[in-house]
Amino acid sequence: MGVVVSLDEGRSDPEASLSDLVALVAGGMDRVNAMILSRTGSDVAMIPEVANHLIASGGKRLRPILTLATADLCAYSGGEGAVKLAASVEFMHTATLLHDDVVDESDMRRGRVAARINWGNQASVLVGDFLLGQAFRMMVEVGSLRALDILSAAATVIAEGEVMQLTAAKNTETSEDEYLAVIRAKTAELFAAACEVGPVLAERPRAEQAACRSYGMNLGIAFQLIDDVLDYGGTSASLGKNVGDDFREGKITLPIVLSFRRGSDEERVFWRRTLEQGDVRDGDLETARAILKRHRALEDTVERARHYGAMARDALALFPNGRMKAALLQVVDFCIARAH
């Protein structure tokens, strides 16, 4: 933790970095949570069961928080609109997670058994579709065609990113640029859209919309890169998923991309066997971590995340200083400090 203090400009407690923002949007988030609960309702009993299994499993709800926060940053005072769009964003995220579990054949999600294990792949696919439908219904209720445009485009881009990842999966030759294109689409696009619809609802100038979008996009990239690092170095308890999931699933993430290029022929044989051929044996995860350490791949991935974090911060420069802006800047620190 000591390292974090010096690198993160004097902040000593990474958890505290999110708490200011959480406190500032607490009232709105109560309404978002009530909206989420009411919109997972259905006469078909399996739908709320499956949806709430995941929704109640304690995600941070960072994306809807960002929608409320950017709306507030832009002095939005339109009432339920931001709440509904925030809930829509969370539903889009939840739908993606449900479909991801099927795509990745995951057994665990957020430290709980994945929905598909309890209810089958079928329910995960279909309840995901239901939530996506409900997300669009809420957006339509808000009635902003521009917000609908942003979020429907995001839905498309996310799916494209997932397919890109599928194509890149198990290919150890993936370049850093290719990997960035994947995470921009599959993760950062929803952060960007979540942040962009705030100023859109508040009818702020395009420059502010673009600034919030850029903040979200770069924060999202940093967030995903740190997730990649946590998958090799975090603790199971703090992340709610087991260390080594990406490794076992043969996912090519930035730490692997960096190590593969910096490594020896022998190491590349190891990566090909484990990640491309899926031949993972006892002790391989430890070997993988040792190789990553030898090449400073985790540290350098954190450095890359810091770069995008800096871009996220700078994007907010055109907004006047205030509590909400300060809290949004702290979120960047929070995302990066998770790695330690």
Contact between 132 and its own copies per CB under 8 A: yes
Reduce the DSSP state of residue 108 to 3 states and report it: strand
Task: Give 19 or 122: the residue with its C-beta nearer to its own copies.
Answer: 122
CB of 128 to its own copies, least distance (A): 8
290: tokens are 């040792």
Amino acid letter, 234: G
Whether the CB-CB separation of 275 and 256 falls below 8 Å is answered with yes
Tell me which H or E stretch contains 109.
Answer: strand 108-109
C-alpha to C-alpha distances, 120 to 16, 183, 278, nearest whole angstrom: 38, 27, 24
73-102 mask for its own copies (x: CB under 8 A)?
Answer: --------------------------x--x
The label of the residue with tokens 């995951």 reads 106
Query: How far apart are alpha carbons 36 and 40 in whole angstroms?
Result: 6
**DSSP category for residue 280:** -
Contact between 117 and its own copies per CB under 8 A: no
Contact between 37 and its own copies per CB under 8 A: no
Query: Judged by CB under 8 A, which of 153, 290, 318, 326 binds its own copies?
Result: 153
Query: Judged by CB under 8 A, which of 22, 125, 280, 311 binds its own copies?
Result: 125
21: tokens are 């923002």
CB of 139 to its own copies, least distance (A): 8
Residue 109: phi, psi to the nearest 5? -150, 125
Stretch that binds its own copies, among 2-10, 38-46, 211-219, 325-333 (CB under 8 A): 38-46
For the four alpha carbons of 23, 56, 166 and 235, in that order, the dihedral sign comes to: positive
Contact between 52 and its own copies per CB under 8 A: no
Query: How far apart are alpha carbons 299 and 180 in whole angstroms?
Result: 17
Tell me which H or E stretch contains 230.
Answer: helix 206-233
Residue 182: phi, psi to the nearest 5? -65, -50
Task: Give 150 or 316: the residue with its C-beta nearer to its own copies.
Answer: 150
Contact between 103 and its own copies per CB under 8 A: yes
Contact between 177 and its own copies per CB under 8 A: no
Stretch that binds its own copies, among 15-23, 24-32, 153-161, 290-298 (CB under 8 A): 153-161
Contact between 310 and its own copies per CB under 8 A: no
Contact between 41 and its own copies per CB under 8 A: no
Stretch that binds its own copies, among 6-14, 58-66, 74-82, 156-164 (CB under 8 A): 156-164
Footprint of its own copies (CB under 8 A): 42-47, 99, 102-103, 120-123, 125-127, 129-130, 132-134, 136-137, 139-141, 143, 145, 148-149, 152-160, 162-164, 166-167
